[in-house]
Structures are given as structure tokens and as C-alpha cells.
Structure 1
Amino acid sequence: MTKRITGLVGLVLVFLAGAHAQVTTEDLESELMVPKQVTVNTIFIIGNEKTRKNIILREMDISEGVTYEWEEFVSMLVADQKKIYNLLLFNTVDVKPYFVADDQVEVLVSVTERWYILPSVIFTLADRNFSEWWINQNRDFSRVNYGIKLDHNNVGGRNEKLRLVGQLGFTQAFDIQYSKPYIDRKQLHGISARFNYFTNKTIAVRSSDNRQVFYTNPEEDVLRKSMNALLNYSFRGSYYNFHSATVGYHQSRIHEDVLVQNPVYFPNGNTQLSYFFASYSYRHDKRDNNAYATDGELLVLGVNKYGLFGRDNIDETEFTLQANRYLPLRGRFHLATGLSASTFLSPLQPYTLVRGIGYRPDFIRGYEINVIEGQQVAVHKNSLRYELFNAAFDISNYMPIDEFAVFPFKMYLSANFDHGIVHDRNRLVENLRLTNRYLYGYGVGLDLVTFYDTVIRFEYSINDVGMGNFFINMKAPL
């Protein structure tokens, strides 16, 4: 027997808050007396002026004409709302059930679209992070990239993405990328392609005392020219699981002066490195927010093969792992914990392929100004976070463009602890201080999450050798 629902049939009796709020089953059930089962008659979508309906429906487990247990239905509403938001096509997403009978509902998906064509001026630091530029490079403004970037994040309303980049400054580059998430009616298969070309007059030629050593020759010649071309195929068989396969070609040429600074910058003392490469990755992504998650999990497994044919200048195999978990705790607390690891099979790589702590995604707080290089890397990052503030401001009176009319702002206080190790088979004397031993760092931070999922982190961290510094970072740590 269905419990009687208070209020008028057809009136909105329950709603899910926008994509920036945490919604639970208890929140919904506190609003009304609920039926044991509900049947979904129709799914309506409004606000998608550019985005095709099928792109949104692809993210939804809920289907028309299906009967669900009430608790299952509520959980699916919450999950579907998060999945639609994680398309990164919308500023806000609401998924609401409307009762038209005691046990029948219509589902309304209401979205507000982002501004999809985003021309922008490039003015970014060329270094690994802000702290590297501020401390190691003495705030040198010659180490700045500038130029023009054009992003179209929803070509044809099908979530296709196009990026064009023309860049000058520290790294002169041209980059074009295109991705089409679905090329078939069942929306399972996708493709993407990328081509880039860049040159540098100053490059990192090696590391010493666990810091990058940069070199510019007296004539300020171009020291490195690099080109990459790749084609990617993706398969999405279920909502949270993605498979990706990539093939491509890489070519780099360096000035002979680079080999004076580092004779093994490329294998066998060559000034050219060219090879075909292939990679495969599996990604399980069930985060509530891709830019700054507070709930869910992420698992990425990958294998990269550099050098496919006998004429290639390299024969390397790399395995990678990233496993993150985000756990809501009591009140406004949540825990973010993540393991990242990688390993090469051979003992010596071209310097352009060197990995270690200090290169994303592997870092330890307190060691932001260091690079700890080797063939095997394992890092475990942890943050206990408290939500200080979470609001979305209506600024439509000051901003006439609808896509910018809502200004979200979140603030989190974090307590952090990271630890890990880098194994260097070569045991390079100039870097033995930090390689092949246990490292850790800890501290506190303030994280800001705002417009179009921009993340800014202010942190003070201390490492295990007692060095403390204030750091600014522009991405979520995990």
C-alpha cells in the first residue's frame, strides 16, 4: 500500500539541490511520505539550448517506462545529477521528480549551460609549479609563456572539443586538439587527435642536488625542437568505466651543446630522438566532481610503449597507476587519499621521459621545489578537509551573459600528509640526498574552488628534513 503524499498531485513535492550541494536520501524522504515504488513516465530536459538531448541522457541510469524501488530511485537521481555535471558543460544541474500520480513521476532535468567558445590570452609560468618559479628561478619573468588560446568545448552540441593554441615566450608552441566522445549511435566509441610542435631556447638538461638544472647557450640558439602527433580511440561500456588506446609519433632534435651538459640526454649521444609509441589505459571514475572531489573514487591503470619498430631510437615500457578515494565524514569533513606510482623496465631513459617526485601526478608537499628522479616512483597523498564555505551567488544584475550569471565559491581548510619514495637504479651521486629513501611532508592549506571549477590552493608545508615553505598551487592535489 502506497503511503499518502501530502500536498497536491502534480506539484513539485521534492527536489534535488544544484550540482554544488550535497543531497542525500534522507533529505528527500524528509520532505514527503514516499511510495514503495515509482514508475518514470517521461524525462524532460530544459536549458540545453546548444547541447543535444542524447548527450545528457547518456549520463542517466534512470529510463522512461521503468519502475524503481523508491530508495533506488532517489540514489539514481543523485548519481545522475553528478554525472551530468561532470560533463563540464553546465554551470548548474537540477534533476527533479514531479509526481503525476501516487506512484508515477515525470523527471525534469534543468541545466544552465556554460559559455562554450572561450578565446583567452595565455600568460602562464613555464615552470612545474608556482613555487619552482618563485624560489628556484628567482621570479624570472622571462620564464613566462604568452599567446592566444581558443577552446570550443561543445562543438555541434555533442560535447566535442576543439583547442587551438599559438604560444610565444619561454616555450614557443603550436597545438591543435580535437575530440569526439561518441562516433556511434549507441554512444560507446569515441576518437580524438592531437598535433603539437614546440621549441625552447632554455631547457632542463639534468638535475643536481634534486633540483632542475637549466641551460641556455651564449648565442641563445634554439636548443630543442619537438613534434608530437597522435590518434586516440576510447570505449565507454558503462557509466564509470573508460578504455583508451593511443598510437602516435614523437620526434625531438637538440642542439649539440645540450650533450656537452648531459652526454646521456638522449640515448647513445644522439642529437635526435624519434619513435612511434602506443599506450593503453583503463579509467574507473566515480567522483562527485572531477575538478575537486569530495566523494567517490578514481582508478587509472596504464601501460606505455615507447618505440614500436626496429628503426626507432628507443625501446622503453612504462606502467602507471593512480588510485584515489574520497570519503565523506561527519559534518563538513571529508578525507581525500590517493596512491600514484610508475615504473620503467629499463635502468636509463632519455631525459625527456624522466619521471619522479615533482612531476605530475607524483609530488610530496614540502618538496615542491625539488625533483627526485628515478625509474620507480610511489607516492601516497592524504588530505583531511573541512568545508568552511559553500555558496553560489547570483550576479545576473551585474553580468548580462547568462552563462556567467552564477558565481560559485567554495572554501576548504585542509590538513595534509604525503609520503613516498623514488628508486634510482643508477644512484646518481649528485642526487643521492633524496633518492632511494623514504620521504614525507605535512602541513595545512586553504583551498578555493570557484568559477568554471577553478582550483587555487594556498599551503604551508614542512618536509622530513625540516624545511618549511609557503606554496601556491593551481590544481587539486588529488
Structure 2
Amino acid sequence: MPGICVIRRFGLLAFFFFCSLLSFLYAEPLELQDTKLTVQDIEISGNYKTRQQVILSELPFAIGSSIEMMDLMVVTERAKENLLNTSLFNSVEISFYYPDIHSVVFTIEVSERWYLWVFPIFENEGRNFSDFLRLNDGNFFNYGLYVKHDNFRGRKEVLKLRAVTGYKTQLVFGYRNPGLNNQSGWGIDAGWLWNDRVAYGTVDDKQVFLKTLGDRLLTTTNVTLSYYYRHNLDHYHSVFAGFMNIDAADTLLAYNPDMLPLQQSTSETITLGYNYMYDKRDSKIYPLKGLFIEAEIIREGFGLESDYEGFFRGRGAVAYHNRLGEKLYYNTRGFVSLVDLDKVPYIFRTGLGYEEYLNGFEFRVIDGTSYGGLQSKLLYELIPRKDIRLKWMPLEQFSHFHYAFYIKLHFDAGYVYNNFEQDVNRMANELLLGYGVGIDMLTFYDKVLSLNYSFNNFAEHGFYFHFNLTL
């Protein structure tokens, strides 16, 4: 029957059409997962002051580059981490869409921070906040004026001027023109420091201070020039040269004749160095995942008008961060510093408690020419990051607030070599162990506040506070 035949034919056509439609809807995306997409465009908004090139230099992709479809989420997350790690933005949102089956367009929306800071200074003077609380007798304060311009001219440059008095009198000027990805940059730092209270020695592994009634004990003038190069987002190279002039009063030298090279009252020295960093962490402020490697070699302290030849100092550090499970993280960091002399002038003193410290030893300085350490932490995410929009805040740069809390267990081990260990100090040339518990709070503008209760293997224990409020 003709009618039935027509119906059957249309039924077959409908069936094949439906099968073809299903094949298009389901088979094609699976095929595209192995397809490379070309970045057609990168749309950026919210950068009212930051130049577009600064943002583009942080991205792991560029217009015209090819990306595997299966890698889109990975490169998007990496781009977001890189932009947040610049400390230029409160928030970053990145999405993408497909203008056609062979192309992708990224959209980036940033919320800029406040960049110009002008405010009075009232700060503590100490190697760390816990040591300041221990020492404070009302004299360990500085006050003055601080001016800092982050993202100067919208180019990620940093310009700063600092003038303080109180515990110390100090003038500091700094300028940094950063090297963007695959580009070079340079910087200059200059400072002048006047002290009438100076640490001149170490007794019982604590600094001993000399204080006058307003008379100068030590004056320091320094200038450092640096040149740096960034390659493939994660590799940083820098070379630097510095000049330092130090003038010590006779009163200070009477307490410590070895304060300056060759027991002189005036020292003019040169420092030359090279630094390499590999930094592939999700955050530079509080990393939870990633790897960090640093190596540095310095020729320090050789004199311009004296016979002092100076010394070599080598320094290295490796840190690894990863996730153990839901809300559980761990990190391990090792560091070492080596000097090719058994003894250096006190002004160049090294050891634990200055640039590096161990938990449980915050009150101590362990002097020595060489040292090393291993630090491990186990972190539990107590409160994940909460982002809050402060609607009542008229300034957009301060309206984005966030916080997060982590509970931690920490264990540190270290050793300091001192070939001239004196009877008045007991911690050098001994195994140093520190351990305890703590809680960290992360909040906006890269601030981290820590409260720890720590022990060490010298039967010392107590609460220790740390926070990075320096701008």
C-alpha cells in the first residue's frame, strides 16, 4: 500500500536523523576533548590602573597560542593563581567561551587593590613579634612616616619612602621595576640608619644591647642595585651589587672590638651576589600546594680601602606543599646557609634567629657561620576561605574582605656550627628541636596572623605570636 510505504520511508528518515543528532550531540564533544583550540582573544576588565601587559604577562597562554581542550580548566586555574600572587588584585575571575569549534576566548575580570599608602608609623622593633613582647620596656618602638606606591604607573613598579625615629633613626628609599614574564627588570634600594642602641653581643643565646643617652653608636649607609630576569613564569634570576658604609663609635668597639672587619671603627665594603628561584606554588603568602626552590651565592664584605677580603656565603632552600586529604595538608621546608670562614665580624653575624628561625626558639639567636634546618607542618582547614562583600564600605578596594583559619602541628629541627662557641652560649653545635601546635588566620591584603604554643629540647615552652603586617 502506497500510504504505508511513504510512512515507513519517513519513519526511516526520522530514525536516521535522530541517530545523526545523537551522534552530533554526544560523539563530537568526546572527539573535541583531544582537539587543540586556538586562543582567539583575551578580554580584560576591571584594570582601571593596571596596564593590560602586566596581566597578560602572568598568563600561561597568549593570543594565538594553542591549548588542549582537556587542559582548559588547568590553565585557567593557573592563570588565576598567578594574578592573585602579584598582590595587585583583591579578586580575579576567569572564564572562557567558544566562538567556534576551533577557538576559545578568555574573559578576565579583576578587582584592584588600594595602591598608594601614606600613613604614620608606630611599630615594634624586634627580630619577631614574640621577641619584641619579651624585650619591651617602652623603648623598642619606632614612629615616623611611611609612603609606598604599589603598582606605580600601573606597571607593577614599587616606590617607597620610609622615615622613622625612636629606637632607631632611619631613612629608606626603594624603587623596583619588575621583570615581567620573559623580560628583565631592575631595582635600587638605598638606606641610612642611625642607632643609639645596638646589639653588640650574644649571651645565653640572646642578644645583649648597649644603650646611650642619645649619643650615636652606629651609623650605616647602604645602596644596592639589582637586575633580574623572569623566564617561563616560574623561573627568576637576579644579580645584585651593594655598597655599605658603617661607622662605629669607640664606646661600641670597647664592648666588642670585632664589631667591624679588622677591628676598625669604619668599614666600606662591597657585596656581589646571584640568586635563583623556582616558584610554582598556588600562593606565595600561604601555599598549600606546589614546589619552591631557591639558591644564592654571595661574595660579601670585601673592603674598598682595607685588606679585608670578605667571605663567600651560599644559601639554599627547598619547600614542598601538598594535600593529604579533604581539608588536610602538609608542607616540608629545608634550608641551609654556609660561610667559608670560621668567624666573621659581628656586623655580618649569621645563624638562626636572624633571617631564619625555628619554632620554639623565637626568643633565641644561635650565632654561627653555618646552619641548616628542616621544618614540617600538618595543616587542617578549620574554616575554609570566606569572601565577604562589605556593602557599607565606600572604597571599592577595601570592600572585598576574606578570611580562613587553619589548625597546625609543627615540628622543626636544626643545627648551627660555631667553631668559636663560648661558654656563655649553649645552643650552637647542638641538635635543635622545636614542636607544637598553633592556629593561623589568613585575611585580605596578604595578612597572616599566627598563634603557636611551642616546645624545644632545652625545656622551654610558651605562646608565640607571628604576623606579617609589614607593607
TM-score (norm: length of structure 1): 0.89
Query: Deviations along 1:242-269, whole A, 9 cap, x unmatched?
Result: 1100112101111111122112112332
Amino acid at match of 2:447: T
Classify 1:389/1:246 alpha carbon distance in 2 versus 1 (closer, same or farther; 3 Å). same
- Counterpart of 2:379 (choices 364, 380, 385) is 385
Partner of 1:162: 159
Alignment of 1:324-363 (within 5 A): 324-360=319-355, 362-363=356-357
Match of residue 36, structure 1, among 34, 37, 41: 34
Q: Is the CA contact 1:44–1:106 (under 8 Å) kept in the aligned structure 2?
A: yes
- In the TM superposition, what is the alpha-carbon distance from 1:201 to its structure 2 partner? 0.7
**Aligned-residue CA RMSD (Å):** 2.2
Aligned residue for 1:430, secondary structure, equals: coil
Alpha-carbon distance between aligned partners in 2 of 1:233 and 1:384, rounded to the nearest angstrom = 37
CA 1:189 to 1:3, structure 2 compared with 1: closer, same or farther past 3 Å?
farther
Q: Which residue of 1 aligns with 2:200?
A: 205
The residue aligned with 2:248 is 254
Deviation at residue 101 of structure 1 after TM alignment: 3.4
Q: Aligned AA for 1:445?
A: G
Q: Partners of 2:24 and 2:114 in 1: how far apart? A: 44
Does 2:274 align with 1:280?
yes
Q: Conserved in 2, the CA contact under 8 Å of 1:322 and 1:340? A: yes
Q: 1:396-436 deviations in whole A, cap 9, x for unaligned?
A: 322111111110101110100000100001122211x1110
Q: Report the equivalent of 1:26.
A: none
Does structure 1 residue 133 correspond to structure 2 residue 132? yes
The equivalent of 2:453 in structure 1 is 460
Q: Does 1:142 align with 2:136?
A: no
Q: Secondary structure at the match of 2:281?
A: coil
Relative to structure 1, the CA distance from residue 71 to residue 298 in structure 2 (aligned partners, 3 Å threshold; closer, same or farther) is same
Output the CA distance in 1 between the equivalents of 2:98 and 2:214. 71
Question: How big is each residue's C-alpha offset from its partner over 1:84-123, in whole Å with a ceiling of 9 and x where there is no partner?
Answer: 1111110111121123334532101111000111113222
Contact 2:268 2:304 in 1 (8 A): no
Q: Is the helix fraction higher in 1 or 2?
A: 2
Q: Could you tell me how far 1:345 is from its partner in structure 2?
A: 0.7
Structure 2 residue 290 is matched with structure 1 residue 296: yes
Alignment of 1:72-83 (within 5 A): 72-83=71-82
Q: Distance in 2 between matches of 1:85 and 1:210?
A: 40
Task: Give the Cα–Cα distance (whole angstroms) in 2 for the partners of residues 182 and 316 of structure 1.
Answer: 30
8 Å CA contact 2:191, 2:223 repeated in 1: yes
Between the aligned partners of 2:125 and 2:445, the Cα distance in structure 1 is 23
Show the 5 A alignment for 1:20-59.
Answer: 35-37=33-35, 38-59=37-58
2:26 and 2:448 map into 1 onto residues whose CA distance is 42
**AA in 1 matched with 2:202:** S
Residue 316 (structure 1) shift:
1.6
How many angstroms apart in 1 are the aligned matches of 2:202 and 2:349? 10
TM-score by length of 2: 0.90
What whole-Å deviation, never above 9, does each CA across 1:123-152 have from its counterpart, x for those lacking one? 2211111221222x1x32211111111111
| Counterparts of 1:451 and 1:408, CA distance in 2 | 6
Q: Distance in 2 between matches of 1:99 and 1:165?
A: 50
1:223 paired residue number: 217
Contact 1:89–1:154 (8 Å) recurs in 2? yes
Unpaired segments ≥5 residues, structure 2? 1-21
Give the match for residue 95 of structure 2: 96
Over the matched positions of the two proteins, sequence identity in percent amounts to: 27
Query: Separation in 2 of the partners of 1:203 and 1:356?
Result: 18
Cα deviations by residue, 1:163-202 (Å, 9 ceiling, x for unpaired): 110111111100000011149xx85110100110011111
Match of 1:403 in 2: 397
Structure 1 consecutive aligned stretches of length 4 or more whose deviation exceeds 3 Å:
1-6, 32-36, 101-104, 307-310, 391-396
1:25 corresponds in structure 2 to none
Aligned residues of 1:62 and 1:77 also touching (Cα < 8 A): no
- Checking the alignment, whether the CA contact within 8 Å between 2:196 and 2:211 is kept in structure 1 is yes
298-307 vs 197-206, greater mean Cα deviation: 298-307
The gaps in structure 1 that reach 5 residues or longer are 7-28
